[in-house]
Amino acid sequence: MHPIAAQYSGLYGVLGRQRSAMIKGIYVITDEELIPGRTHVDIAEAALTGGASAIQLRDKHASNEQLIRIGLEIRKLASAAGALFIVNDRVEVALACSADGLHIGQGDRPASEVRALLPDKILGVSVAAPEEAATARTDGADYLGVGPIFATSTKADAGEPVGTGRIAVMRAASGGLPIVAIGGINESNIAQVAKAGADAAAVISAVVCADDMVEATRGLVRIWEESETPG
Ligand code: TZP
Ligand code: MG
């Protein structure tokens, strides 16, 4: 490697470790389609009040313009709460809202391309197989989304549940990147996810469909803190 390139790759390595260290706890993903009238901002505000450490703005249908307006609101709320703000899929929205990061799946733009566009942001990549985990790391991912851990009806094409055992398998394949477990996680099973060694648990319906979103988030945070494994 050219010495200048080596110097920069070392710098990105340091930045990456700092970014990765912030991925922990309860990560709430917004979804306006589950409960009519519950907006992305309502969900984010409640989740942050309840102690979520990260909010992801996820909307497959809204325009970039609409999402930028919403994202700017969530940006302010997350900053005030000391939480991370991550955008799903949309590079332009993440940039326009000064989000902390972007989350992409295997069907989105390649992670290496997104990393080049967003050198300073947290980059999360959903992975289903150990080879995808290794590639995501090489491409510059800061954390891996792994799931669905349990059955979920929130994402139609999520696939069969992989179980909590997949968390350790993916971590081994990723060279130690933080793992965000997702899919069907709720207050009755989140302790298993923490004990399996996940760094964070991402939830949609467990918060968005709860009668009281603040209390639901608080409950998940409490169980997580009681159950997480050190390190
Ligand atoms: N990716 C894998 S499963 C899933 C996503 C976005 C849906 C998670 O939703 P829920 O309601 O927490 O099961
Ligand atoms: Mg995607």
The 3-state secondary structure of 114-179 reads: HHHHCCCCEEEEEECCHHHHHHHHHHCCCEEEECCCCCCCCCCCCCCCCCCHHHHHHHHHHCCCCE
At residue 5 the predicted structure's pLDDT band, cuts being 50, 70 and 90, is very low
Neighbours of 2 (CB within 10 A): 8
The helix or strand, by DSSP H or E, that contains position 50, with its residue range, turns out to be: none
Instruction: Convert the pLDDT of each residue in 180-225 to its tens digit.
Output: 999 999 999 999 999 999 999 999 999 999 999 999 999 999 999 9
At residue 6 the predicted structure's pLDDT band, cuts being 50, 70 and 90, is very low
Instruction: Convert the pLDDT of each residue in 163-180 to its tens digit.
Output: 999 999 999 998 889 999
pLDDT at 18: 73
| Ligand 1 pocket, CB under 6 A | 147-148, 152, 154-155, 158, 182-185, 203-206
Given a cut of 80, whether residue 81 has pLDDT beyond it is yes
At residue 19 the predicted structure's pLDDT band, cuts being 50, 70 and 90, is confident
Cis peptide before 148 (omega within 30 of 0): yes
Rounded Cα distance between 224 and 159, Å, is 25
pLDDT at 1: 36
Residue 23 Cα to ligand 2 middle (Å):
19
Mutational test site, ligand 1, from 31, 152, 162, 193, max ligand atoms within 8 Å of CB = 152
